[in-house]
């Protein structure tokens, strides 16, 4: 007994004796990650210009080959600069010049290599991941039971968070699917509905600034993670729930040893500018295969959003092909139930008709499978490699541009593998992929060149389903540029010009009433970034919507070279500038009851003609040409209204 006490004392003494703190900063020295191994339990802090944004927060993993959360001693520390100049046409910034310092913190346990913490720090972003070692040489795999990685914010920090949905709930037991609201100014110490929060999560630290927490580089080699809120106000990384995916597949990810976990990302800014402009989701990942063709951006229409299941029919799809052709758009999306309501033979006729009109098809599939009850077909085509590749060969033969696969509803490793399998197969057949009822894409635009976009948001369908969602449309829209949409493309499927969410656009008939203006609809076409867009415009809108709005939607780009944050506050208002080639689009929306009047500094514009889309106080929109004299430009946006400036 005495011996054991002495040994414990000596161990504690040696751990404290060798306690070290090592720091790594971004190339400009402002953002700093500091790691400390006091007591054998590593913690990290994050500061910007010496101001703390994360207080000592835990690191480590518990695995079946070792508990790497304690008894660790820092045995090595190296720092080297890294840089990467890369192009991804599908994200907010087509060309990125990434500059960072990379640190490797090596930890031993019982004298053997246990864990490396690999950290990359750029001007405003930190990305870190673990490399896991096994204590025995003949051990080549391990399971990770839990992750100690945590986030301890300074007191008074508020969260802008979206609750993790419960497993096997919601429509046809298809959750979790990231289809809940973002709620602003949430105090620390809560845990959503008991399941935590999804990535990304935004935090405001008093008047000091903002922190965006997310993860990237997640594929079939790991699960997707979430944030668990603790009563002490901290957050921890948590893995999927056992019940997800109908209980199939492990909740604890399996990896090789040595092997890596995904990157945990932390973006820090005094303002929302670094949050809005961050490219960290793509900076630290690599393309996993070469594109088989040159994948393009596209605009398209889809009948389902205003006409629902009953209208996925042959004649209605022809009307939408005509609509897309009239708008100069590249695609239509043939949504659920085409297998039974249209049939393959007629799908081939639809594709041939579309081809004549210069339009191509995105075709909907159910991801199932045996993981939820979603009834819409086609089923059993995307869940296994044999049927999937047959189906994709057929899609290529009819000239389809891509697929939309729906109803995944789990972040388990096996579900992440399914996304990857679908993407990799689709690339072999030159097809782009859009996912709905799905997880947050985590670096996928760069990892998979044919990945186009994903829902993972309370999207336009909810405006159809609920007046309450229409009433708060602007608040949610003013969240996305700073949270969900800043880390990944977002297929919102909106920009509605209907007054009412019913097929006839008839206010005397049942349907939720749109509260937002037509200029708001135009502004969100720019504000919401997705290289493949499906707009909620109907054939009837060609005659019942204002000509200036249709003309705008005819020329709206979907791929961007640059983004700049101009002003905003999550949930209240958002004003951004996006550049496509030499053309700038400045877009703004306002959810605040008070009309927003803001003087914008617009150094990116030249003196001369500026096209202005704006609302009057009754949300009536118009388009006019003004002369931009240089310097500042004042815009006014009423509640639920928008503004767009084009030059």
List contacts with Ca ion (CB under 5 A): 436-437
Considering the complex, state which of residue 457 and residue 549 has its C-beta at the smaller distance from Ca ion: 457
Min separation Cβ 458 and Ca ion, Å: 9
| Minimum distance, C-beta of residue 455 to Ca ion, in the bound complex (Å) | 5
- Least distance from Ca ion to the Cβ atom of residue 328, Å: 27
Give the nearer residue to Ca ion in terms of CB position, either 383 or 406: 406
C-beta closer to Ca ion: residue 180 or 516: 180
Nearer to Ca ion, 148 or 459 (CB): 459
Shortest CB 118 distance to Ca ion, Å? 36
Q: Which two tokens stand for residue 307?
A: 């006409």
**Strands 72-87 and 95-109, bridge-based pairing:** antiparallel
Nearer to Ca ion, 90 or 180 (CB): 180
Q: How many whole angstroms separate alpha carbon 387 and alpha carbon 78? A: 49
Phi, psi at 69, each rounded to 5°: -115, -10
What is residue 233's DSSP assignment?
A: S
What residues are paired with 365 via a beta bridge? 405
Question: Least CB distance from residue 461 to Ca ion, whole Å?
Answer: 6
**What angle, rounded to 10 degrees, do the helices at 547-555 and 314-327 form?**
90
**Minimum distance between the CB of residue 534 and Ca ion, rounded to whole angstroms?**
12
**Cα–Cα distance list, 152 to 43, 188, 237, 511 (Å):** 10, 10, 12, 45
Q: Are 182 and 483 in contact (CB under 8 A)?
A: yes
How far is the C-alpha of 361 from the C-alpha of 342, rounded, in Å? 14
Q: Which of 617, 612, 610, 608 is nearest to 641 (CA)?
A: 617
Q: Which is nearer to Ca ion, 405 or 645 (CB)?
A: 405
Two tokens, residue 91 = 């994200």
| Cβ-contact 98, 84 below 8 angstroms | yes
How many Cα neighbours within 13 Å face the side chain of 524? Answer: 32
Residue 436 or 578: the one with the smaller Cβ distance to Ca ion is: 436
Torsion of CA 414, 420, 424, 425, to 10 degrees: 50
Q: How far is the CB of 477 from Ca ion (least distance, A)?
A: 17
3-state helix vs strand vs coil in the chain, percent to 5 = 25, 35, 40
Beta carbon nearer to Ca ion, 154 or 377: 377
Q: Where are the beta strands (DSSP E) in 417-531?
A: 432-435, 451-454
For the bound state, the minimum distance from the C-beta of residue 459 to Ca ion, rounded and expressed in Å, comes to 6
């Amino acid at each position: 007994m005495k011996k054991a006490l002495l040994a414990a004392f000596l161990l504690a003494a040696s751990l404290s004796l060798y306690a070290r703190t090592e720091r790594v900063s971004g190339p400009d020295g402002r953002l700093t990650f500091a790691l400390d191994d006091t007591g054998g339990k590593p913690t990290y802090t994050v500061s910007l210009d010496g101001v703390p944004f994360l207080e000592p927060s835990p690191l480590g993993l518990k695995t079946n080959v070792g508990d790497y959360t304690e008894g660790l001693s820092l045995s090595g520390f190296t720092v080297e600069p890294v840089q990467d100049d890369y192009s991804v046409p599908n994200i907010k910034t087509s060309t990125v010049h990434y500059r960072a310092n990379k640190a490797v913190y090596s930890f031993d346990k019982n004298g053997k290599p246990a864990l490396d913490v690999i950290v990359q720090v750029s001007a405003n972003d930190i990305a870190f991941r673990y490399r896991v070692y096994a204590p025995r040489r003949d051990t080549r795999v391990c399971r990770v039971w839990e992750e100690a990685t945590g986030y301890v914010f300074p007191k008074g920090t508020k969260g802008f968070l979206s609750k993790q949905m419960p497993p096997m709930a919601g429509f046809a037991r298809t959750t979790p699917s990231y289809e809940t609201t973002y709620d602003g100014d949430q105090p620390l110490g809560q845990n959503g509905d008991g399941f935590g929060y999804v990535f990304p999560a935004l935090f405001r630290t008093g008047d000091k600034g903002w922190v965006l927490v997310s993860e990237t580089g997640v594929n079939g080699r790991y699960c997707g993670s979430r944030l668990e809120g603790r009563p002490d106000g901290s957050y921890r990384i948590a893995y999927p729930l056992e019940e997800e995916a109908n209980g199939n597949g492990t909740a604890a990810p399996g990896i090789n040893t040595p092997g890596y976990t995904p990157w945990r990302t932390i973006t820090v800014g005094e303002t929302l500018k670094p949050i809005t402009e961050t490219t960290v989701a793509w900076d630290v990942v690599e393309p996993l295969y070469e594109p088989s063709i040159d994948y393009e951006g596209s605009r398209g229409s889809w009948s389902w959003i205003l006409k629902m299941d009953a209208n996925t029919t042959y004649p209605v799809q022809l009307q939408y092909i005509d609509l897309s052709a009239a708008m100069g758009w590249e695609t239509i999306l043939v949504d659920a139930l085409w297998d039974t309501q249209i049939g393959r033979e007629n799908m081939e006729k639809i594709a041939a008709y579309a081809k004549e009109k210069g339009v191509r098809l995105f075709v909907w599939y159910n991801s199932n499978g045996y993981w939820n009850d979603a009834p819409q077909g086609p089923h059993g085509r995307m869940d296994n490699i044999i049927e999937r590749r047959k189906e994709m060969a057929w899609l290529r033969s009819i000239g389809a541009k891509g697929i939309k696969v729906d109803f995944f509803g789990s972040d388990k490793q096996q579900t992440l593998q399914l996304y990857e399998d679908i993407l990799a197969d689709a690339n072999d057949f030159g097809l782009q992929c859009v996912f709905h009822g799905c997880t947050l894409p985590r670096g996928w635009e760069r990892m998979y060149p044919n990945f186009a976009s994903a829902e993972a948001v309370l999207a336009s369908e909810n405006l159809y389903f609920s007046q309450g969602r229409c009433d708060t449309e602007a608040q949610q829209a003013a969240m996305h540029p700073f949270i969900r949409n800043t880390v990944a493309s977002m297929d919102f499927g909106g920009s509605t010009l209907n007054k009412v969410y019913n097929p006839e656009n008839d206010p005397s008939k049942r349907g939720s009433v749109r509260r937002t203006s037509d200029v708001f609809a135009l502004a969100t076409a720019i504000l919401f970034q997705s290289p493949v867009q499906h707009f909620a415009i109907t054939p009837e809108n060609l005659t019942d919507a204002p000509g200036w709005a249709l003309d705008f939607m005819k020329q709206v780009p979907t791929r961007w070279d640059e983004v700049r944050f101009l002003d905003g506050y999550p949930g209240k208002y958002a004003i951004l500038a996006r550049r496509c080639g030499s053309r700038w689009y400045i877009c703004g929306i306002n959810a605040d009851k008070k009309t927003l009047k803001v003087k914008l500094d617009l150094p990116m514009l030249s003196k001369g003609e500026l096209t202005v889309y704006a609302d009057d106080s009754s949300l009536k929109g118009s388009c006019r040409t003004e002369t931009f004299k240089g310097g500042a430009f004042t815009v006014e946006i009423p509640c639920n209204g928008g503004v767009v400036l084009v030059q």
